[in-house]
Amino acid sequence: MDMTSHEARNPLSAITLCAESILTTLKELLNTDEDIIHVAKDTIETHHEGAEIIMACAQHQKRIIDDVLTLSKLDSGLLVICPIEVQPVETIKQALNMFSSELIKSDIRLEYELLPTYLALNIDWVRLDPSRLLQILINLITNAIKFTASAATREIVVSVGASIERPSNFSEGLEYLADPNTKDPTSPRADNEVYLTIAVKDTGRGITPDEMKGLFQRFQQASPKTHIKYGGSGLGLFISRELASRQGGQIGVASESGRGSTFAFYVMSHRCGPPKAKNPLHDAASKVDPRKRSKASILTAAATAEEEMQSHVTHELAARKAGELEELATTELHLLVVEDNLVNQKVMSKQLERAGYVVTVANHGYEALEHVRKSRFANATNGLLLHIVLCDVEMPVLDGLGFVRLIREMEANGSLSDHIPVIAVTANARAEQQAAALEAGMDSVVTKPFRMLELLPELERVRKLHSI
């Protein structure tokens, strides 16, 4: 199953990056004033439309692959919930970033709000499975965009709340679906237990009472016309219900035909402190105040987090609306891309160079090690410039986990002068696989297929974290 996922995701990653590269180039041409471009404008617009279709198909295929793999794990009892220390606001920000281009294309306004219930509890770090939380949220936002794109008023509101008691409903008119696996509300609760509630409200077509009966069922959509007009596998809401249940939560919906819908779910989590350093190699990162780890993290209180999140989303959407690929690199950063797939290697390098980075490539871990040994991390005076490594995990000769372990050993024995930031860029998307990558020494993980709009903010976050 893991190999199937890996083999499916790698070609999708190449397709997505190629389509994005074509789109970016064609947008630049369409904005050019040269006469020769005006002559060929119709042809360019046709190619632009084709590239957008390729991108949409790739993203659609990715969602179907994810749904089928998750369903298979559910049926075989192999789905595992892997709680780790996370900041909920940061986790949700990642999901919102993924949809910025789709929101702009459909002219949909996205609002984000932290509810008073969340602010009152002053939540910072909790233990939960971020990949499974995101899987539910992404399903709900995807549906909201599909059903809102053709509405007269196009708005989506994502709300986050919290409670120390198990929620009975989200708001008037929305009750959570009954679940026999839900914990008895009268049973003792842990002192650090907290429930996170997330709602996605849209102004789309809404759902009729008859259509509501088919929701949350396996391979069921609101009606046969839903698949014809909007596509989809009919698995998203069923899987979302199961994932909420596996995390001690529930999901529900309130809707009225012609007046939009609200889907809300909650999951159980536990308050905790920031992740502890696994070994001395992470001391530099662990000394950074967790409230300052990224530009959208909580800085002094949850209220500040809300303001920063809204600012980030607004900025991201404004940049895309201007038709520009945001250049997040404020200084000339030298990247090492370690990737055995030649197509991914070529397209990633081109896109990163377009964004203003200086890129060197390596085909496997040992080639990457040779580059590191020639860098200023090993030779402070005359070494090659190197700031961040982007590294695949599954590679021949020496894989990504073996490479990063050797790097951390070299740092520990003094062969390297400082901590080298290494970001895993991998098709291994399961939470336990990502946890294994972080345990091996990766600084963060970006899963394939991805778009540059997702990778560039992570590069910026790592740059700021290590004061590069």
pLDDT interval class at 361 (50, 70, 90): very high
Question: Lowest mean pLDDT: which of 170-174, 266-270, 278-282, 399-403?
Answer: 278-282
User: Once rounded to an integer, what is the mean pLDDT over residues 147-165?
Assistant: 92
Contact 126, 88 (CB under 8 A): yes
Decide which of 312 and 275 is more confident: 275
CA distance linking residue 180 with residue 80, whole number of Å: 19
Does residue 177 sit in helix, strand or coil?
A: coil
Query: Could you tell me which of 16, 147, 5 has the C-alpha nearest to residue 67?
Result: 5
Take residue 320 and report the two structure tokens written for it: 């895309």
371 has pLDDT over 70: yes
**So what's the pLDDT on residue 374?**
93
Decide which of 171 and 463 is more confident: 463
Query: Could you tell me which of 102, 121, 84, 110 has the C-alpha nearest to residue 305?
Result: 121
**So what's the pLDDT on residue 329?**
40
pLDDT interval class at 415 (50, 70, 90): very high
Take residue 193 and report the two structure tokens written for it: 């237990």
Contact 88, 158 (CB under 8 A): no
Task: Dump pLDDT digits (tens) for 426-457.
Answer: 877 677 788 889 999 999 998 876 777 778 88
User: Once rounded to an integer, what is the mean pLDDT over residues 22-40?
Assistant: 63
Task: Dump pLDDT digits (tens) for 298-340.
Answer: 233 333 334 444 444 444 444 443 443 444 444 588 999 999 8
**So what's the pLDDT on residue 120?**
94
Q: In terms of C-beta distances under 8 Å and separation of at least 24 residues, what long-range contacts does 178-186 make, across chains too? A: 179/241, 179/245, 179/250, 181/245, 182/245, 182/248, 182/250, 183/248, 183/268
- Extended beta strands in 242-333, E state: 250-255, 261-271
Whether the bond into 449 is cis, omega within 30 of 0: yes
pTM recorded for the entire structure: 0.56
**So what's the pLDDT on residue 183?**
57
Decide which of 214 and 359 is more confident: 359
**So what's the pLDDT on residue 362?**
94
Take residue 208 and report the two structure tokens written for it: 């009729």
How many other C-beta atoms are found inside a 10 Å radius of the C-beta of residue 85? 16
Beta carbons within 8 Å of 389's beta carbon, 6+ residues apart: 335, 336, 338, 368, 372, 407, 420, 421, 422, 423
CA distance linking residue 365 with residue 349, whole number of Å: 17
173 has pLDDT over 60: yes
- Extended beta strands in 340-439, E state: 358-362, 388-391, 422-426
User: Once rounded to an integer, what is the mean pLDDT over residues 117-140?
Assistant: 91
**So what's the pLDDT on residue 111?**
93
Could you give the percent of the chain with pLDDT greater than 90? 31
Q: What is the dihedral of CA 50, 55, 57, 58, to 10 degrees?
A: 140
Question: Lowest mean pLDDT: which of 49-53, 85-89, 275-279?
Answer: 275-279
Q: Measure CA 352 to chain center.
A: 19
- Extended beta strands in 193-312, E state: 193-202, 250-255, 261-271
Q: Looking at residue 219, what DSSP letter applies? A: T
Question: Lowest mean pLDDT: which of 98-102, 178-182, 311-315, 442-446?
Answer: 311-315
